Homo-oligomer: A and B are copies of this chain.
């Protein structure tokens, strides 16, 4: 398992170690003859430069640290896919860590990322205290995804939940709906922005917002719908529901069908997140999509701008979600 070093390649090619280094860094001041000799020698030996040694000697790092609160959440997996492809294109490598939604764990995870002396760190929805983030930012560039910050030393990438809700409301209004209720996400981190966006959009259209308490689960969606139908008269019943997320919407749909309502003929439903099952033909849920890959790419970009010293002012990316119209929305009854 002993791997060849630059020294070995140099010896075999009959040149000095420094020349080999120049070749592997694509220096223009190497004669073609030598370059080829080095390259073939390296090839024969199966030589590969040692990233760690290079990092140490060059005082630069090609490592990006990534801490994710929950990998199993498809949202983060998508963002990481975006991070990964952007990092690869820029010649960087991802070191990955999971924080498991616990501040203690996250602190340890961050420590261990920083011990790589990475070029930068991406924190996906961390629950870490701001002070810890600030401390990390003194060490290397830091980007926060799905979490805001007022620190001028850290960049942020978020989706615009206010705009996303507006899209949903616009869509329903343009179909002719006027009584549109929102099934709230409760304490979920994304719920506040979505609720606010809903309220604003409704008022902008001169409509009365109706926020029904719920949660980001299918059972909560069912419960909220049953409660709604039991307490509101037929005439006052909303003709459309804008749900906090797709799971909630799915539960709402189940309950509506159970109560004998047809979708979208009797009532329209919009979700949020564009999870994989919302595209299933049977579900065909109209929903709001966050540009998750794009968020990952932007995070890497922000990091690299700092690394290259192109920017010192904080970046505040607020990404525009998009509406994915499918089969659960239509014109209101009558």
Please tell me if the beta carbons of A282 and B56 are within 8 angstroms of each other in the complex: no
For A286, list chain B residues within 8 Å (CB): none
Cross-chain contact of A96 among B95, B135, B247, B277 (Cβ < 8 A): B95
Q: Chain B residues near A277: list those with CB within 8 A.
A: 250, 276-277, 280
CA distance A77 to B117 in the complex (A): 26
Query: A1-B140, A93-B112, A95-B93 known; A117 and B50 CB under 8 Å?
Result: yes
Q: Which of B51, B88, B222, B251 contacts A115 (CB 8 A)?
A: B51
Q: Is the CB of B84 within 8 A of A250?
A: no
8 Å CB contacts to B: which residues of A257-275? none
The distance from the CB of A113 to the nearest CB of chain B, in whole angstroms, is 8
- Residue numbers in B under 8 Å from A146 (CB-CB): none
Whether B1 pairs with A116 at a CB distance below 8 angstroms is no
How large, as a class, is the contact surface on chain A?
35 or more
Which residue of the partner chain B has the closest CB to A247?
B280
Judging by beta carbons under 8 Å apart, are A81 and B95 in contact? no
Cβ of A74 within 8 Å of any chain B Cβ, yes or no, is yes
Instruction: Knowing that A71-B81, A93-B95 touch, tell me 18 more A-B residue pairs with CB under 8 angstroms.
Output: A1-B138, A1-B139, A48-B115, A50-B115, A52-B52, A72-B74, A72-B81, A74-B77, A80-B96, A88-B109, A88-B112, A93-B112, A93-B116, A96-B96, A218-B282, A219-B281, A250-B277, A254-B281
The residues of A with any CB-CB pair to B shorter than 8 Å are: 1, 3, 46, 48-53, 55-56, 63, 66, 71-72, 74, 77-78, 80-81, 84-85, 88, 93-98, 109, 111-112, 114-117, 135, 138-140, 218-219, 222, 247, 250-251, 253-254, 276-277, 280-282
The 7 A-B pairs of least Cβ separation, nearest first, read A254-B282, A277-B277, A52-B52, A96-B96, A77-B77, A51-B115, A94-B96
